[in-house]
Structure 1
């Protein structure tokens, strides 16, 4: 093998490759003669497998070295902070990225070696595009494009030109956002620039050339010179060439107009597929190209012709957006428009709306008739009035009216346009055309009138009757409105009753074995209940059962505050059982430690977490003080946290017989769990109680405290919007409730919200207000679901803005799953219908502002379908309330555009208003009904207004 001979060209190149030194490879190869290049080219393909194995081994070593360095950093952090948490892979990846770790560093030396030694240009192109050399990303630190240009600069000029063309033809559509980072793109374009070769006709090349543009220069002419050229430098100095076509060129200037490819490539912008899609959001380059045209650096005529020819080729509105902006920036004069008027006329009937509007604006700028003869004018308006877009069709009718007023003689030439408007898809266009035809009826001869009569049978029933009275002919009479399916009210289904909690097993086996967690509220309740009962009846067995927990509780935890987790409090209880007075001994001599357990509770915790911690702290303090009751009052009897009032009275009677004082937080939690309706017999039993706790319970049952008031406030944080509840509790007679909701923090996650509901099962609005914190946020996590709405339907209390926003959100995100909870809420009287509609309008408008028409998150049609099902299932009155709120907040106001959805929404509201026998004027509906302009929305608004006020 030649690689065994000492001192050969291959030996030197292989050593540089094995050292992963692409610059050294380039320096060697650039000085080789033909025989040395052939020697290296012969050996290169067989070396790929070996250099890959070596490179992968080095990658492993580099990776391991970085891991050791990372581990050392983590160890130092733990030693300094005492934080025992393990680092996550996420932070490891961030650090590796920061350290610019790049693997497979053998690729660039191999690419450079092949580019400089392989004989044919085709072979070099194939070598550079080998699958072995492809990377997922293009690391800036290993850019081999300058080195490849260096090694091919010594080749003959014809060879270089052939290579440049082949590299260009090998290009495919660049990745969106790749821009100048794609090395294949940069290499092909730079080879074309430096050789002066005519670029081949290849659409991906044109798109790639556009992606290589830097940002256009500022408008100040003093800033137009290329970077690196001083003010006194000769203008042609930067363009000087040496004998080698590639070696004598500087990198491409930042100004694309100074690019050697600019003159050849600019006309291709208007022909190449993919350019419009790439530049559709670009706003700077149209103004820049127009400035070049004004300065005489680019032919204005070529840009205008290019735009018009691109419009005629067709495409989507989005893909033509760049060319529309460029055309607007060029702002053609009437003389320039007149020269191209036939092309503009061809755009009116079928071009995308933004292009058709552009053509209409330019043609109308010519004057009432101007260079357009009457036949051309008639052709223009006929192309417009037959379009599906109402805005363009209405503009055509306005133009037609203007032409008719300015035209002398009969209007037979415009009869075809009038007939086309009479059979338009838009009801508003048909109505306006009919009024226009009647207005100018006297100016049609029998020939023109016959063209209008031919359109009458094609019009919807009833719409051509007035025209037939003026022009003659036959029109279909109006048909009576078809009767919909017969609607009969049905009773609303009630929410299922929450299941009763099974009584605990008394004894150590009754302690839940699940890990205590803030998100398993029933496990925590059962643990507390069994702990207190066993502490009173079999403390020795309880102490033995919890001995393993006590053994792992470190004494230094007594020096920490606050205690955030239930498991900490449970372990401290176990420790106190095993070693009475353990905390007092541990904190002796530490006056900064909170003197009471309640002061260890974090006061900034969310409500669903704070109240259970208060209960654990209270039980722990009672254990330390020796004042534990025989059982707790607040242990729920139902799976949603509700407490049976008869059971609470039984427990209070037991306290009074034993002479036991209730724990304050436990008592308040018990009262918060009572249902809103207490049977009179139970209330009478409570009134007979004489203790402090008994009297408080009796008063709560007969004179409950005021309902908390909830409002929602929108708060912007960066690009996101969050819903912040403002809760005024008023005289609740519950310090627990007042403290829990004082900080207005939201509870995220289904389990946390269920825990909160278990604390206040009679106040569904408080839970809903905390559940909607992130419904308007752009990310997808932390949002409530229809399952929570079902839980709230089984709870109690009036609904408010929180319940309304939660119901609206679930209707938008889980419409089918929301139907049954919506019916349950309606049956309970907790559905604020008008507020739900207002919140739906908020969500729809927020969705429209955040997303494009093609990528809306919410489906208005699906929401209406579910509301219709709800009305058929008995919630017709509530659905009408929802629709009244939705119409008021979502229908278009002055200056806003109506859509088909608005019309469909109002049509459905007409039906629901009849089912609910609704009465009372809606201001926005009254305003729409009074409009003179005819449209589907206006007609439905008139029907609804008549039903509400008739």
Structure 2
């Protein structure tokens, strides 16, 4: 027993000192019993090193510990677990040392360890040299797991120093056939093959193709595996790599023919590059008579409705060649051609119609009926042409009157009352902390915090503790107390300042300074709205500490931020009964929110307010009987490619308003015009600003105009998310609102364009959209280069396909003449990417709505030479307006 202890101590000393050679010598020939006896001490050393600093001593010990621990485990599972442990991974023994200390074990045991290591996920980073060495020593079957195969691939690619080629390395590897077969089963392997080997003469693809030609790899199995992998789909890199391999294999005509069903599936559903290859193979077979007309028709049914126009056009070309080669195939192929009548691109529809016109005479009568039915899907202009040239009765039925389909106008939603339970309120606050929430949710929670803080502040604080634990200031170190104070002095951060006050994390002095002096100086154009919003939060927090409010006066009745006048009067009456002193900011916010568009209700509320006999009641009565602040004058100005808006002073803002609210009346031009400010980066409060001045969304839109213009001019992301809220808000939709929507329609990112389309449809549904003014704005913005025609085309196409063809036509009828004038003057617009797409949307809308008349400068565009999309769509639009075609 003393000998075993001595060996244990000697091994432990060698490992601790990092003497790898000595440790390996002690392990050589060591019996299993002694190995097991050494293992507890090695495990204790591992625990010790985990807690030790990452210094030279610990780094020196780790490799020896890694090797010794693996060797002292007598079970394969334990050895594999030790070898792949995360804490040993970054400073492990080399594969050569590990193979030395493990090499004297039984072959079955070594094979078991090899397969257990190969079963680990790639993130375990098991060295390939270790796994392959164990396979070699044990003679076990080679593993084909992802970890082993990926390691093999990387090993093959890393031996360039030897001067040989990939092909030579694969020829020398006895396991190449098994491992290549496994490559086809591993997901996302293409990026590794592509990155390591590229496309050169010494590429992976060429090497495998050559091995297949030499017979080292079974050709049929390799081709089948490659095609199966393409059918499975996956990430683009996988499809790209296996398509290159398939191309390098140079399939014979017999091999292509026997896989016709696979090509049909790939042409219909695979990624674009793979589908294009399958289409070319099938096309070659069809033109050589080795594909039946039925198979070609089946193929066309899948390809003609793919989004890639290149594939669709290539398929129509193929169908045309097949019809010329064998006119008798018209019975099978013309119904397939007619499927393209429903394609969204009218160029595709026209190509298909030309094919039908050319070959319909060779088709039996029943085919004419099928084509007639399909012609119902043609655009209105092409449908008339089909009636005239083909005599298709089905295409000539009287069109139904056009009906505009707009979404229902959003209905105002009431703000529910605050939760009765502090626990329920805390749950809602927790949800708000993880998502900004809308106006109704925020105002309900704020009012609930004030109400429960008035009733039982301690119970509320206790209920809130579990939901605020993630906030950094909750358990802030006392030495950072000044940081917390500064944090809430500069900004209330939404509900956080109220929560921090309830939990005693912010001082009364800090809250008092914020209430008295407002925010730190911030002259940006958003600061007026932000100051008014923040003033009420600071005041609510300060009053919780000094003189709690029973509830908030300004909590809106509606989610838009509007407050019913009778509800405001009832709250003031309750304040009078309780003897409570209203908060100045809260009362001012309530005045700005009170609804005054119902004269009878307003007059009744004014009389009730005056009868209260309080200062606030008298102020409310005066406010309700006065005209209130009027919308300021506006004027346009340009800034680079942008068109922006200046607002004048807001008349009628009472002098007794707190300073934070008086800033709302200042002209926009008084604020510093800066590209970036704190509000540019933090967008969480923007949707609340509309509720600060409900009914006056032009004030908000004008202050957000520069940020919204950036989605089109600077390709920023996310700023347009506020557009649907602006569209749903009450009040006049003037120049600022329409300019904001115009920039959103030209946004770089699809999600911003969708927000703008939503706003456009809401304004149209509410009868507040000035389509002509919006179109004129878009025309000028495209002329200046602020909005790109292609982006606008995508936006208005989306809006039109919802059923708003007439709305979109009115917009484009005002926008297009500006670009057409540029084209007529100097041809500059002919190079504007997307102009043809914009004309195509206009033509579609004009056809569906039955528009007629003339458009300035359209004739010059239509009379230009050539067959570009711009010219063909200009001709289509002119023809539509000349004929007044209705869908």
Deviation at 1:383, TM superposition (A): 0.3
Q: Find the aligned partners of 2:635 and 2:406 in 1 and give their Cα distance.
A: 41
User: What does residue 91 of structure 2 align with?
Assistant: 141
Native 8 Å contact 2:300 2:315 kept in 1? yes
Alignment CA distance shift 1:487-1:169 (3 Å): closer
Q: Find the aligned partners of 1:795 and 1:475 in 2 and give their Cα distance.
A: 48
Summarize the alignment of residues 257-656 of structure 1 with structure 2, pairs less than 5 Å apart: 260=173, 263-264=176-177, 267-268=180-181, 271-276=184-189, 279=192, 282=194, 285-288=197-200, 291=203, 298-299=210-211, 301=213, 306=222, 309-315=225-231, 317-319=233-235, 321-325=237-241, 327-328=243-244, 336=252, 339-343=255-259, 346-349=262-265, 350-360=268-278, 362-363=280-281, 369=287, 372-373=288-289, 375-376=291-292, 379-380=295-296, 382-387=298-303, 388-390=305-307, 391=309, 392-405=311-324, 407=325, 410-423=326-339, 426-428=343-345, 432-444=351-363, 446=364, 449-451=365-367, 453-454=369-370, 456-457=372-373, 460=376, 466=386, 470=390, 477=397, 479-481=399-401, 483-484=403-404, 517-519=489-491
User: What does residue 567 of structure 2 align with?
Assistant: none
Native 8 Å contact 1:837 1:885 kept in 2? yes
1:420-448 C-alpha deviation (Å, 9 max, x unpaired): 2323563555654333122122334x3xx
Q: Find the aligned partners of 2:590 and 2:709 in 1 and give their Cα distance.
A: 22
Alignment CA distance shift 1:411-1:187 (3 Å): same
Q: Find the aligned partners of 1:904 and 1:887 in 2 and give their Cα distance.
A: 21
User: What does residue 833 of structure 1 align with?
Assistant: 738
Corresponding residue SS for 2:272: helix
Decide which of 758, 762, 767 is 2:666's aligned counterpart: 762
Q: Find the aligned partners of 1:947 and 1:196 in 2 and give their Cα distance.
A: 84
Decide which of 34, 39, 42 is 2:36's aligned counterpart: 42
1:167 and 2:116 equivalent? Answer: yes
Decide which of 845, 853, 869 is 2:762's aligned counterpart: 869
Alignment CA distance shift 1:818-1:400 (3 Å): closer
1:559-590 C-alpha deviation (Å, 9 max, x unpaired): xxxxxxx989x99xxxxxxxxxxxxxxxxxxx
Q: Find the aligned partners of 2:680 and 2:837 in 1 and give their Cα distance.
A: 37
TM-score normalized by the length of structure 2: 0.55
What is the CA RMSD across the aligned residues, in angstroms? 6.6
Deviation at 1:103, TM superposition (A): 8.4
Alignment CA distance shift 1:55-1:275 (3 Å): closer
Native 8 Å contact 2:739 2:774 kept in 1? yes
Report the more deviating stretch, 106-115 or 351-360: 106-115
Alignment CA distance shift 1:943-1:486 (3 Å): closer
Native 8 Å contact 2:739 2:777 kept in 1? yes
Q: Find the aligned partners of 2:404 and 2:633 in 1 and give their Cα distance.
A: 48
1:646-695 C-alpha deviation (Å, 9 max, x unpaired): xxxxxxxxxxxxxxxxxxxxxxxxxxxxxxxxxxx99xxxxxxxxxxxxx
Native 8 Å contact 2:724 2:756 kept in 1? no
Deviation at 1:27, TM superposition (A): 1.4
Q: Find the aligned partners of 1:381 and 1:100 in 2 and give their Cα distance.
A: 72
Deviation at 1:876, TM superposition (A): 2.1
1:920 and 2:814 equivalent? Answer: yes
Native 8 Å contact 2:375 2:395 kept in 1? yes
Deviation at 1:705, TM superposition (A): 13
Q: Find the aligned partners of 2:19 and 2:769 in 1 and give their Cα distance.
A: 76
1:805 and 2:707 equivalent? Answer: yes
Q: Find the aligned partners of 1:788 and 1:102 in 2 and give their Cα distance.
A: 60
1:321-380 C-alpha deviation (Å, 9 max, x unpaired): 4343454488559875675344366323434132543324643885993xx316357634
Alignment CA distance shift 1:320-1:458 (3 Å): same
1:902 and 2:797 equivalent? Answer: yes
Decide which of 10, 13, 37 is 2:11's aligned counterpart: 13
User: What does residue 124 of structure 1 align with?
Assistant: 76
TM-score normalized by the length of structure 1: 0.52
1:946 and 2:847 equivalent? Answer: no
Structure number with larger C-alpha Rg: 1
Deviation at 1:396, TM superposition (A): 1.0
Deviation at 1:389, TM superposition (A): 0.2
Q: Find the aligned partners of 1:887 and 1:374 in 2 and give their Cα distance.
A: 57
User: What does residue 885 of structure 1 align with?
Assistant: 778
User: What does residue 150 of structure 1 align with?
Assistant: 100
Alignment CA distance shift 1:475-1:642 (3 Å): closer
Deviation at 1:935, TM superposition (A): 8.2
Deviation at 1:839, TM superposition (A): 3.8
Q: Find the aligned partners of 2:261 and 2:838 in 1 and give their Cα distance.
A: 28
Native 8 Å contact 1:812 1:859 kept in 2? yes
Native 8 Å contact 1:348 1:383 kept in 2? yes
1:253-293 C-alpha deviation (Å, 9 max, x unpaired): 9997598477346622652131446559x456341476466
Corresponding residue SS for 1:183: coil
Corresponding residue SS for 1:440: helix
1:113 and 2:6 equivalent? Answer: no
Corresponding residue SS for 1:827: coil
Q: Find the aligned partners of 1:708 and 1:919 in 2 and give their Cα distance.
A: 23
Alignment CA distance shift 1:833-1:125 (3 Å): same
Deviation at 1:877, TM superposition (A): 2.0
Q: Find the aligned partners of 2:103 and 2:792 in 1 and give their Cα distance.
A: 61
Q: Find the aligned partners of 1:775 and 1:338 in 2 and give their Cα distance.
A: 66
Deviation at 1:13, TM superposition (A): 3.0
Alignment CA distance shift 1:874-1:269 (3 Å): same
Corresponding residue SS for 2:79: helix
Counting helix residues as a fraction of each chain, which structure ranks higher? Answer: 2
Deviation at 1:148, TM superposition (A): 1.9
Q: Find the aligned partners of 1:802 and 1:762 in 2 and give their Cα distance.
A: 15
Q: Find the aligned partners of 2:57 and 2:371 in 1 and give their Cα distance.
A: 72
Corresponding residue SS for 1:129: helix
User: What does residue 87 of structure 1 align with?
Assistant: none
Decide which of 785, 791, 810 is 2:686's aligned counterpart: 785
Deviation at 1:26, TM superposition (A): 4.5
Deviation at 1:38, TM superposition (A): 1.1
Alignment CA distance shift 1:772-1:321 (3 Å): same
Summarize the alignment of residues 583-732 of structure 1 with structure 2, pairs less than 5 Å apart: 711=639
Return 5+ residue gaps in structure 2 as ranges. Answer: 414-438, 440-484, 494-507, 532-583, 593-625, 649-657, 821-829, 855-880, 882-887
Native 8 Å contact 1:30 1:116 kept in 2? yes
Corresponding residue SS for 1:299: helix
Alignment CA distance shift 1:377-1:328 (3 Å): farther
Native 8 Å contact 1:20 1:106 kept in 2? yes
Corresponding residue SS for 2:235: coil
Q: Find the aligned partners of 2:183 and 2:853 in 1 and give their Cα distance.
A: 56
Deviation at 1:450, TM superposition (A): 3.4
Q: Find the aligned partners of 2:332 and 2:228 in 1 and give their Cα distance.
A: 24
Deviation at 1:760, TM superposition (A): 6.5
User: What does residue 82 of structure 1 align with?
Assistant: none
Q: Find the aligned partners of 1:897 and 1:328 in 2 and give their Cα distance.
A: 37
